[in-house]
Structure 1
Amino acid sequence: MWMRQARFACRKHSKKSWKWLKKKYWGRIKGRNDNWVFMNKDLYLWKLQWTTIKRHILVKGKSSPDNSKLREYWHKRQADSPKYLFKSRQILWRRQKGKCLVCFDLIDNGESVHVHHITPIRCGGTDHINNLCLLHENCHRQVHSNRGQLIAAVCKLLEPYAE
């Protein structure tokens, strides 16, 4: 990567000296002990060496996610590394202990997952994490289709999670 950066700088400013190029394109960032960070005034290029390595735990024996006897093992394993990219979804997943609040099945059972507003935005709810929960797509559809009957029961279940 460094060679590409140097080649770019030399091609862009072919008449300038190496000292000038270094001053213009490379520098230091606070908190990093690195002199060669490709940057400008506002942005810098992230170096792969700054990324921490997260080791995975090997699956024990010939365990399969389809084995119903090992369901707790797989649930615990997923709890250590939720697949959600967004931090807010990881927080919701941990807060709900990985379970859907309507059917009480595991969130990570292969179905798509939706974020549900406990108090709807049109009724004064917000996008704050205390007003959100994770539901399976079908459970979310049930909550919204049976507004009159099911919503009251679901709201009682969700009350401990809302502030």
Structure 2
Amino acid sequence: MWMRQARFACRKHSKKSWEWLKKKYWGRIKGRNDNWVFMNKDLYLWKLQWTTIKRHILVKGKSSPDNSKLREYWHKRQADSPKYLFKSRQILWRRQKGKCLVCFDLIDNGENVHVHHITPIRCGGTDHINNLCLLHENCHRQVHSNRGQLIAAVCKLLEPYAE
């Protein structure tokens, strides 16, 4: 990558000296012990060596997610590293112990996941994390389709989570 950067700088400013190019395109960033960061006043190019390596835990033996006897093993394994990118979804996932609050099945069973407002916004609810929960797409649809008894029952189930 460094060679490409140097070639770009030399091609762009073929009449300029190497010292001038070095001052213009390379510098130092606060918090990094590196004098060769390709940058301008506002931006810099991220170096791959700055990325921390995340180690993963190897799967035990010939364990398969399809084996019903190892369901708890896979659930615990997923609980250690939720796949959600957003911090709020990770918090919800951990709070619910990885289970849907309607069908009590694992959230990570391959279905789409929706964020549900326990107290609807139109009824005075907020987008605060204490008023949210994760539901499967189908469970979420069921909660919103049966406005009468089902929604009251589900809201009663979800009340302990809305603090």
Q: Fold conserved (TM > 0.5)?
A: yes
Deviations 1:15-37 (A, max 9, x none): 22222222222222221211111
Superposition deviation, residue 160 in structure 1: 2.3
SS of the counterpart of 2:99?
coil
SS of the counterpart of 1:20?
helix
More deviation, 8-17/41-50:
8-17
Supply the RMSD in Å over aligned alpha carbons: 1.6
**Distance in 2, Cα, partners of 1:158 & 1:62:** 38
User: Paired residue for 1:9?
Assistant: 9
Runs of at least 5 residues in structure 2 that lack an aligned partner in the other structure = none
**Distance in 1, Cα, partners of 2:55 & 2:107:** 24
SS of the counterpart of 2:43?
coil
Deviations 1:76-112 (A, max 9, x none): 1111121212222112111111000111110011111
- Change in Cα spacing, 1:72 to 1:3, as seen in structure 2 (3 Å) is same
- Change in Cα spacing, 1:75 to 1:7, as seen in structure 2 (3 Å) is same
More deviation, 46-55/6-15:
6-15
Runs of at least 5 residues in structure 1 that lack an aligned partner in the other structure = none
- Change in Cα spacing, 1:162 to 1:43, as seen in structure 2 (3 Å) is farther
**Distance in 2, Cα, partners of 1:77 & 1:22:** 49
Q: Which runs of 4+ in 1 moved over 6 A?
A: none
**Distance in 2, Cα, partners of 1:55 & 1:40:** 33
More deviation, 26-35/135-144:
26-35
SS of the counterpart of 1:116?
strand
**Distance in 1, Cα, partners of 2:155 & 2:78:** 27
- Change in Cα spacing, 1:30 to 1:109, as seen in structure 2 (3 Å) is same
User: Paired residue for 1:129?
Assistant: 129
Superposition deviation, residue 145 in structure 1: 0.6
- Change in Cα spacing, 1:3 to 1:110, as seen in structure 2 (3 Å) is same
Superposition deviation, residue 54 in structure 1: 1.3
Figure out how many residues of one structure are paired with residues of the other and give that number. 163
SS of the counterpart of 1:135?
strand
TM-score by length of 1: 0.91
- Change in Cα spacing, 1:33 to 1:143, as seen in structure 2 (3 Å) is same
SS of the counterpart of 1:60?
coil
- Change in Cα spacing, 1:50 to 1:136, as seen in structure 2 (3 Å) is same
Deviations 1:92-145 (A, max 9, x none): 111111000111110011111111122223333333322221110100101111
**Distance in 2, Cα, partners of 1:86 & 1:69:** 31
